[in-house]
Every structure is written in C-alpha cells, then in structure tokens.
Structure 1
Amino acid sequence: MSLSKHLIASVAAVSSAGMAHATESLNVSAYGGSWGDALASCIFTPFESETGIAIKLEPSASTVTLSKLQAEASAPVMDVAWMDGGVSELARDSGVVAAIDPAMAPGLSGVANQAKYMTEGGDIYAVGNGYFAVGIVYNTEEITTPPTSWEDLWNPDYAGRVILPSAVNSIGVPVFAAFNSLAGGTLEDLAPGVEKMSALEAALFFDSSGVANSGFQTGEGVIGAHYATQAFTMADGGLPIAYAIPEEGAMASDIRIHIVKGTDDLEAAHQLVDFAVQPAQAGCLAAALQVGPATEGVDLPADVAARMPWGPNGSIDDLAVADWSSINAHRDQLNEAWSRIATSQ
C-alpha cells in the first residue's frame, strides 16, 4: 500500500470510529402524566430536533427513579434523570449522580445560584428546572375571606373539612415539619407539632394530587395545604377554587436535572442539561406547569406570571424552600409521626 493510500485508509478509519461513537440517543428518566408531557413538549422534542439525539424516556416517580439508579449503579442504564428536591439529596448521598461541569453546559451561568445544588466539595450535582409550591387552596364559595396564614387551617369553621398531604406525598413531611415549627417544635422535638395537629380535624390525607382534587370537587374539603399547580387546574376546570400564599411563605421544592454517574454519553448528557435550562425552555415549562423558572431573566406573560409559586411580583427569595438535608436526616421520625397523625383522624 502506498503512503497516500495508507493515510487515506487511516483517516477513514478514524472518521468511521468517530461516527460509531457518536451519540444517537439518551436514556432519560423523568415524570409521567402531565408533567412528563410538558417536559416532552418543552424540552425533549425540541432537543431532538435541534441535535438529532433521540430521547428514550422512561416515565417514573422520583423515588422509583432513585431506586433504579441505585440498583443499576454498577452498570448504569439511564444517562439523565429528573427527580424532585429531597430525593435529589438522597441520590447525591448514595453516589449515583455525576458532577455537572459548567464548562460543558454554559447555560448554567443563567441559572439562579439557589438552583445549582452543590456537594461539600463544590461540585454541582443537580440543577433546578422549575419551582413548585404548596400553599392554601380553598373553596371561594364556602370561604369568602381569603386565608392569609397556615393558622387559618385551625379555624373551627373548617373542622372536618381540611385536606392535607400524607407522608407518602413528597411534600407531606415538609408540611408537618413546618406545622411543627409553627407550634414551637424542632426537628429533634416533634411533640409540639403532634399536639397542634391533634386539634385539627382533617377530612383526608392525600397520597396523590388526584385524591386531593377529588376531595375539593365533591366538597369533602373546603380548605387545605395543596399544590398551586393543582389549584389553577381545578379553577380552569370551572371549580370555585383559589390559591393563597400564607404570610409564613408557601412551602416549596423543585424539579431537578441530574446526570447519572457512569453514563457513556457524558457530553450529550451535558447538552441536554444546557438545553433544558435555556430561557425558552424555562418559559415553556412555566406556562405549561405553573412552575417558577430557576433560570433568571425569563420574560413571562402577565397571565403566566400571576400563577408563579411566589406570586405575580415575587421571586425565588419569597419561597420557603424545604431544607431537605435536615429533613432527610430526621425523615424516619417525621414519617412515623405524620403517618400516626393521619391514621388517627
């Protein structure tokens, strides 16, 4: 073989090898239902169109996603995973998520500092993709004066008609932690919260949002701690339902993006992270799910801005974001106490 032919063959071999290793798809674990639909329309489908990289989606709840990542840790199947705050910290602690390199996802420079979650060593292990909140949801035909405080749930007029999240629901434990704090308790002392809850008669404790929505629709409950997104959905459906932000602050968390540790497609995974936090994608999710953008400078229409978890003129700073590390450290005790309260009513 001549030198020139040898060089041509070598170049062809290198080119062919590069093509063989080009990323054709990413395995992504994210939410199902309306949340999964919104992620698909706002992020996954346009990402596929822009990059040519197919998204192979596995719909899953956050806790199920974490269990799968832990089970597959030695041979990861997923490349990128969306999980809620709280579960995100558990994923960090179990070592199943990789560091996200800002140099490989330059869009992170536009994300609020609060939404870049760091390990003790200073690496980013998760990035916020939208804030949701739990405030006071109420029936405007039954309650004509808008509630202003969590303490309003203890109004005797609402006894037996209060709807609350159970310990199974992702926000249930933070709700109890907040009520315990209102009563003067701490995470080391839950007795004040247990005593306070004994004075509140609940209509139901919901595992899923659909159960809570049904309780409001049938009139079983007229007020409660529920998601803002669900309140707006019910109102859009013609129900006399409104959402109020208590003066103590709406309890908030967020959906977060993670790169799975051990992925073979690290560069493409960073591409997806970078794409997901762009203003256009953040604005799309805000409109579709009423989640507050973690990306800064997103220009929202007035009707969308009015439905943000922090209110039409607020910001991330107005949210009472759960201290998940502290809550997770006491999760067993909180779960047990909240579950005992729910089953006793």
Structure 2
Amino acid sequence: MQNLRRAYASKSGIAIASASTLMLTACSVGETVEDSSSSGQLRVMGYAGVVEQHYTEAVIEPFMEEYPDIEVEYVPSASSAEMLGTLRSEQNSPNTDVAFLDISIANTGNEEGIFQELDPEKVPNSENIEDSDSEIDGDFGPPVTFDNLVLLYNKEKISEEPTSWEALWSDEAAGEIIIDGAPDLQGMSLMLILNDIEGADYKDTVDPGIARLAEIAPDVQSWEPTPDAYTMINNGTGAIGVGWNARAQFYADEPDSNLGVAIPEEGSVFQTNSINLVAGTEYPEAAQTFINYALSPEAQQSFSETMYYAPANSEAELDNAVTARTATTPERLESIIDIDWNYVAEQNDAWTEVWRRDIIGG
C-alpha cells in the first residue's frame, strides 16, 4: 500500500468520488457483431443496487458514447462470491466478458482459469494503476477501485460522531450493534483491524481480534443484517455497526437520512476491486477497450465523485471535499493497515469456523 500512499500524498486534491450506476443498454438479441477494438457486444458483471445504477451512469454510458459500436449490458450480482459461482457455472461457454469484483475472489478465478491475462498494449492505462503488482500475478485484471471499512451509526441514537472503533463498546451501542459476520469480508476486516489495534500480526495469530469481538457478541443484534447494515442502522433498528465507506457515504447523502459515517482514528483497511477479462470471451478486443476506459483517469474520477470509491489510477485527481470523505487523506493513509488479501482468502474457511465457535456461538 506504500505506492498508493505516495500517489495520494503527492496530490493536494485527491479525492474519492461516489459512483453512480444506471441501467445499461442491453445487447440486441440474436445479432452477431464482429469483435474489434471499436465494436462488439459486452456483458459486464458487477455489484447490484446503487453500484449498478451509478457505474452505468459514470462509466458505461460515457463509454458507449465514445465507442458507439460497442454495446454494453450490465449484469448485476449480489456479491463477489456469487459472481465467481456464476462464472464457474458458465466456464465452458461464458456469457460474461468482463467482471469487476473483490481482488481476493478474482485471484481464485485467475488460478482456476476463469479469467485470462490482459495484453498490456491494449490496456495502456494499467501502467498508472497503484499496488497492482503486490496482489496480482502476471497481467491479470488490475485494481479498479479501493474502498475502506467504516463505522456506521444512527445519528439519533448515538449522541456524538464516533472517533474510535471503541465506540462499539459504548453504553449507547449495547444491544444495538449490527455486523455482517464471517465469512463476510466486513466482519473479517473488523477482526483484522481489532487484531492490529491489539498489536498482533494476523499472519501469526488472530486470537486478539477474535477475543475483542467475543466481548461485544452479546450486544450484537444481527450477524446477518437484512437487507443490510446500512438500512437497519439508518431506520433505527440498530444504533451502530460497520460497513463500506462508498455505500455508506451514498446512503448518508439521501434526503432525511439518519445514517452517520465515521472513519476511526486508529485506521482501517482497504478493500480492492479488480476488473477482469473472462477467459473464452467472444469479444476480447472490445472487452480490453472497455477495461482500458474503466481504468482511465476520467472514468475513475467520474465514478469516484459519484460513490466515494478511491480511484486506482494515480492520475485521477479528485476534489478535496470528496477526498475528505474517504480514507485517502494523507493522515488517514498513514494509518491504513496493509493486508495480504490472498492470504486472508486462504484462511477464510478456518477463520470462519473460529468465528462460529468463539464469537457467534460463544
């Protein structure tokens, strides 16, 4: 993460923008279009909900204006794990051309042959992508966005904006905590943050993080919030919890929202999404044109300013007001905890069992 820190620290106005997604124009059924760098029919798989709407508005629609002979259909999915499952099921005859999902899940796809390497000459914007070498082998899909874990709180139930993860242990939090538990990445990320605060290296042990979560387990109202933690805390079902900054900032901006967002002073972790070329796609040329556009400074800035994701392209410059609502201010970058998400993915099943035994079922 050092490269990312240097890239952001070198710019006074680097911000992360909120991403906006709309409905995409679907490809014409039954028509065959020749694949080239300027023509094709693409299906792009990504996250559902507000990400779908805003990614479509900020990235896909401008792309189709610039490349009118490349049609793009957005294929929404609930999670990275669901995307991987879908791509596995269609591996012998893929219906998807491009997918953006969590990098640890994407690396599993790389190993299984679901994704293929990019041609650097066809994706020149990948040269300006930060931290790609540390988490990706070869020329597989690079990072496209960064997000970070935050505290969510109901502004009517929590009297002051929290400044520390210790707010989860406050009297106001008692019985009203909402956390997506393991195997969800939010719960895993909170465990890693608390483990770091306790001075432990997660590659040696996560026992301190587990122990801290076990302390608040009796006050957790839900480990599987429905529909999600943002909604439950915003409507007052719960008082405090954790979530991802991009979605949290978006929901906090909605009219009459009671959702507050806090980036604790002890630091956070970055969650990385990568953008990937599906192996066996009928449109590899058009797909790499789209990936290159999605990695461009313009597309990165547009999506960031819509949903407060941090751009992966070091050339994307954001407004200071946007940066202030992300973890990419110079002081916050200094407290970001470096995580090897490939290692986390390898430990996921074992750690989930510990969660079930010592936290959720403790």
- TM-score clears 0.5: yes
Q: Give yes or no for contact 2:297–2:313 (8 Å, CA) kept in 1.
A: yes
Q: CA deviation at 1:187?
A: 4.9
Shift of 1:307: 2.0
TM-score (norm 2): 0.78
Q: 2:270: which partner in 1?
A: 252
Separation in structure 1 between the aligned mates of residue 189 and residue 284 of structure 2, nearest angstrom: 34
Q: For the residues of structure 1 that align with 2:108 and 2:35, how far apart are their CA atoms?
A: 32
1:18-33 residue pairs with structure 2 within 5 A? 20=34, 22=36, 23-33=39-49
Q: Does 1:132 pair with 2:147?
A: yes
Question: Is the contact made by 2:249 and 2:307 (CA closer than 8 Å) also made in structure 1?
Answer: no
Cα deviation 1:129-152 (Å, max 9, x = unaligned): 221111222234444444333233
3-state secondary structure, aligned to 2:270:
strand
Measured in 1, the distance between the counterparts of 2:204 and 2:221 equals: 27
Higher mean alpha-carbon deviation, 335-344 vs 86-95, is at 335-344
Query: What does residue 205 of structure 1 align with?
Result: 222
Query: Residue 31 of structure 1 aligns to which amino acid in structure 2?
Result: Y
Cross-structure match for 1:55: 72
For the pair 1:306 / 2:321, whether they are aligned, the reply is no
What residue is the counterpart of 1:44 in the other structure? 60
Alignment map for 1:148-297 (pairs within 5 Å): 148-183=163-198, 186-187=202-203, 189-200=205-216, 201-207=218-224, 210-237=227-254, 238-297=256-315
Structure 1's 208 and 288: CA in aligned 2 closer, same or farther, altered over 3 A?
A: farther
Which residue number corresponds to residue 14 of structure 1? none
Structure 2 unaligned regions, length at least 5: 1-32
**TM-score in terms of structure 1 length:** 0.82
Q: Deviations over 1:242-292 (max 9, x none)?
A: 322223312220222001122232222211111001111111111221101
Rounded to whole Å, the distance in 2 between the matches of 1:336 and 1:241 is 32
Separation in structure 2 between the aligned mates of residue 240 and residue 21 of structure 1, nearest angstrom:
48
Unaligned runs of 5+ in 1: 1-18
Higher CA-based Rg: 1
Q: Which has the higher contact order (CA 8 A, sep 6+)?
A: 2
**In structure 2, do the counterparts of structure 1 residues 298 and 184 end up closer, same or farther at CA, with 3 Å as the change threshold?**
closer
Instruction: Return the alpha-carbon distance in structure 1 between the equivalents of residues 284 and 34 of structure 2.
Output: 16
Structure 1 vs Structure 2 CA RMSD: 2.8
Q: Is the 8 A contact 2:149 2:268 kept in 1?
A: yes
| Residue in structure 2 matched with residue 73 of structure 1 by the alignment | 91
| Counterpart amino acid of residue 228 in structure 1 | N
CA contact (8 A) 2:210 2:359 kept: no
Counting aligned pairs with the same residue, the percent is 24
Which whole-Å CA distance do the structure 2 matches of 1:84 and 1:254 have between them? 6
Runs of 4+ in 1 over 6 A off after TM superposition: none
CA distance in 2, matches of 1:304, 1:119: 28
